[in-house]
Structure 1
Amino acid sequence: MPVTLIQNADLVLAWDAAAQQHVYLPNADLAFEDGRLLFVGRDYRGPAAETLSGSGLMLMPGLVNIHSHPSSEPMNKGFTDEVGTPGLYNSSLYEYLPIFRPEPDAVHSCVRVALSELLLSGVTTVADLSMAHPGWLDLLAESGMRVCVAPMFRSARWYTKNGHMVEYAWDPQAGEKAMEEAFTLVERAEQHESGRLFGMAVPAQIDTCTPELLKDSRDEARRRGISWQIHAAQSVSEFHEITRRHGFTPVGWLQEQGLLDQRAIIGHGIFLDDHPSTPWHTRRDLDILAETGTTVAHCPTVFARRGITLKHLGRYKRSGVNMGLGTDTYPHNMLDEMRLAAYLARTQATDPRSLTTTELFEAATIGGARALGRDDIGRLAPGCRADFVMVDITHPMMRPARDPVRSLIYAAGDRALKAVYVDGQKVVEDGEVLTMDYRAAAEQLNEAQKRVAETVPERDWAHRPAEKIAPPSFLWK
């Protein structure tokens, strides 16, 4: 492949290998070939088949999203913005999550909408935690993104018959079969012709998996050298369920079973033994996460909607916990998620110094890359994949540009993104996704949601219509 040179960019957010951190590098060049970065620095002297001007641009590493559910969450827009079950500590998981699922023929529209939104907000790598569905791998490849394929499996499904008690329908054999199928799918992903898919093992939730399924999946993930992720410490109900079953907190139980290490990721990890909503007789959970090198995938928006939050991102970081970020819900906008993560951390700490933008950006790049076992993404350095974002630093909302990353996160957001490249291929330009038809997918999703709304009473334990569960903001006249 010919060398492409982006010459004399106003600013490159480059990786300083000696300091192990991102640095601002003004008036710099970036060259790439065959999907890899060849040069990041000043005064490139090598060959170039194509030269692009970097004037007015900041080049930064593509964002790494380690927790997302593209095949389902876009359907929930307008349904779950303001719902939470009072009898289950305002979680929406057990009463509402099962009843707003897309029809099979709407799943591809969900995925295209979610991945388009991610690309438009500068995400170049995403972990897609979904139940396997037909055509999944080819659809992910179509997006042009780098995707960690993470097919979920479990031994039980949860449900509620009254809105205040969670029950479980167990089928351990089905869970083992689903795990085997998931690992087969991971193999197919790693062999995909796109070269941009890789895999992760995901037993879906700590409370829906048998200890045997957890152990078997962890052992196999270690054997294959892939990451392992589980939803845990994500609700008060789950915290109480695990302490009732095992006498340990969710984090404590995972550690007791030998499941935590540097390739383990806990989705959410909110309700630790010192959280105000779940006080326990120990104060070890945060130390366990730090000592084992376990990553927490922090997704603030989905919980903030229900008055729930991590206590808090800055505290976890300062305790030595590796943090990554995700978009668990709509909108799939990583920059919005980053801004909210910062503000929630500071309000929870009542301290503006509790979390720096440096720490926040690290979580969205190298923290996520570390969790996925990748040292070739989330940073701009020779040898890394050519996954990067062009930011228009002349955009009015980027001005003043004294500290461009702060201006991007706290002011301009995705409005200032000029282009996105994955593996050296342009996938976004001037606010348009080049690989998928975002608008058509959104329109198809709009029609599919109308059909889902009609069937809500059939899936709801109380047989309520969607309008009663999620009343509109204003009366329709």
Structure 2
Amino acid sequence: MPTTLIRNADVAILWDAAAKQHAYVANADIAFEDGRLVFAGRDYAGPAEETISGTGLMVMPGLVNIHSHPSSEPMNKGFTDEVGTPGLYNSSLYEYLPVFRADAEAVPSCVRVALSELLLSGVTTLADLSMAHPGWLDLLGESGMRVCIAPMFRSARWYTKNGHVVEYAWDEKAGEKAFAEAMTLIERSEQHESGRLFGMVVPAQIDTCTPELLKDSREEARRRGVSWQIHAAQAVSEFHEITRRHGATPIGWLHEQGLLGERSIIGHGIFLDDHPSTPWHTQRDLDILAETGTTVAHCPTVFARRGITLKHLGRYKRRGVNMGLGTDTYPHNMLDEMRLAAYLARTQATDPRSLTTTELFEAATTGGARALGRDDIGRLAAGCRADIVLVDITHPMMRPARDPLRSLIYAAGDRAVRAVYVDGQKVVENGEVLTMDYRAAAAHLHEAQKRIEARVPELDWAHRPAEQIAPSTFRWS
């Protein structure tokens, strides 16, 4: 296979195996062939059929996103920016999530929009937590991205009839059937012709799954050697529901059931027994997460919109919890999510030293890779997958570039991303996605949202129009 060489990059973020951390390396060469890195360091002396000048570039590993909902969230732009149910502690899950949903025709455009935004912000590996939909695997294959397919299943759906009580409609047989179908879909993903898809077992939420379904799914994940993820400790109402059912916090109960471990991921993990909104007598949740090696998938934007946040990313890291990052909502921009994660952590700690950019980048790369059971992504070293991001350090928003990663995260963002490679294949060039028509998908989604908005009153418990639930910024005339 032909070898591609990025020659003499101004700076590269390479993996220092001895120190077990990323490091800046000036005047670096990166060579790859057949989807893998064959060299990452200085003074490459091997063959190269294609040479790319590294002048003016920072080369960094592709970002690893362990929690996202591409098939639904892009539709919510303009709907859920400012909504939260007062009677349910400002969560938007129970009252609004069911009414602003993409229909089958809109789902492919949702996925293309989300994946395009992710690629443009340097994400090369994504965990896609979605309900199964037609053509899902081929759509992910089309993107050129490395995707962990995570078909969600559950024993119940939640709803509210009054805006202050969450109720559950149970159908255990349907949950078992959806679980079996998810396992079949995971098997199909691993056989997909793209070679970039793999699976994860995902019972959707701690409060919508029976204990039996949770245990069976965790055991199946262990048997298959894949990761297991669940939404838990994501809402105050959920925290109270689990303590009412089981006399334990969500994290405490999952631990009692033997469900936590190094391949377990908690989606969000905000409301622990020492969170100010959910104080509980045990004061053990954070230590449990650290001791069991469980990962927390931190997605700050979706909660910050509702005045909610993790307390706080730096504290979790200091206690030894493996942290990964995700984009639970629009925009699917990992660099924006990283910036907000840093600022919220420091604000919550009232301490600018509470979270370093080093720790933040680890969460977005090796922390996520660890959660997925991968040591060949999220880092640049010989033998790893050729998942590479080229950043233009001559971009005005990158200047001055004394510390180029900080300039990227805190100033330039995706505007400075010049190119992205997955498995050595270029998928982004000069701000354009090469594998999907981002603009056409966004235009289609714009039209589809009008259709979704029209049906809101029939789905809402109080039959309110969308404009009443989510008023426009200004009055239209």
Q: TM-score, normalised by structure 1?
A: 1.00
AA of the residue aligned to 1:277: S
Give 2:461's aligned residue: 461
AA of the residue aligned to 2:144: G
Q: Note if 1:472 corresponds to 2:466.
A: no
Q: Note if 1:435 corresponds to 2:415.
A: no
Task: Write the distance in 2 (CA, Å) between the matches of 1:400 and 1:54.
Answer: 18
What does residue range 261-300 of structure 1 map to in structure 2 within 5 Å? 261-300=261-300
1:53-74 superposed Cα distances (whole Å, 9 cap, x missing partner): 1110000000000000000000
| Contiguous gaps of at least 5 residues in structure 1 | none
Q: Note if 1:76 corresponds to 2:76.
A: yes
Shift of 1:288: 0.1
Q: Note if 1:351 corresponds to 2:351.
A: yes
1:271-328 superposed Cα distances (whole Å, 9 cap, x missing partner): 0000000000110000000000000000000000000000000000000000000000
What does residue range 161-200 of structure 1 map to in structure 2 within 5 Å? 161-200=161-200
SS in 2 for 1:200: strand
Task: Write the distance in 2 (CA, Å) between the matches of 1:289 and 1:226.
Answer: 19
Task: Write the distance in 1 (CA, Å) between the matches of 2:52 and 2:301.
Answer: 37
Shift of 1:340: 0.2
1:238-275 superposed Cα distances (whole Å, 9 cap, x missing partner): 00000000000000000000000000000000000000
Give 1:23's aligned residue: 23
Task: Write the distance in 1 (CA, Å) between the matches of 2:255 and 2:465.
Answer: 42
Task: Write the distance in 2 (CA, Å) between the matches of 1:365 and 1:155.
Answer: 33
Task: Write the distance in 2 (CA, Å) between the matches of 1:192 and 1:440.
Answer: 26
| Contiguous gaps of at least 5 residues in structure 2 | none
SS in 2 for 1:99: coil
Shift of 1:215: 0.2
Task: Write the distance in 2 (CA, Å) between the matches of 1:17 and 1:188.
Answer: 34
Task: Write the distance in 2 (CA, Å) between the matches of 1:400 and 1:438.
Answer: 31
AA of the residue aligned to 2:64: V
What does residue range 373-392 of structure 1 map to in structure 2 within 5 Å? 373-392=373-392
AA of the residue aligned to 2:395: H
What does residue range 22-421 of structure 1 map to in structure 2 within 5 Å? 22-421=22-421
Shift of 1:112: 0.2
SS in 2 for 1:98: coil
1:416-475 superposed Cα distances (whole Å, 9 cap, x missing partner): 000000000000011100000000000000000000000000000000000000000001
Task: Write the distance in 2 (CA, Å) between the matches of 1:289 and 1:448.
Answer: 41
Number of residue pairs the alignment of both structures matches:
477
Task: Write the distance in 2 (CA, Å) between the matches of 1:369 and 1:200.
Answer: 13
Task: Write the distance in 2 (CA, Å) between the matches of 1:71 and 1:345.
Answer: 29
Shift of 1:104: 0.4
Shift of 1:348: 0.2
AA of the residue aligned to 2:291: E
Task: Write the distance in 2 (CA, Å) between the matches of 1:6 and 1:430.
Answer: 16
Shift of 1:52: 1.0
SS in 2 for 1:277: coil
AA of the residue aligned to 2:104: P
Task: Write the distance in 1 (CA, Å) between the matches of 2:28 and 2:239.
Answer: 50
Task: Write the distance in 2 (CA, Å) between the matches of 1:404 and 1:45.
Answer: 27
Task: Write the distance in 1 (CA, Å) between the matches of 2:310 and 2:28.
Answer: 38
Give 1:2's aligned residue: 2
Identity rate, percent: 86
Task: Write the distance in 2 (CA, Å) between the matches of 1:358 and 1:49.
Answer: 35
Shift of 1:76: 0.2
Task: Write the distance in 2 (CA, Å) between the matches of 1:51 and 1:170.
Answer: 59
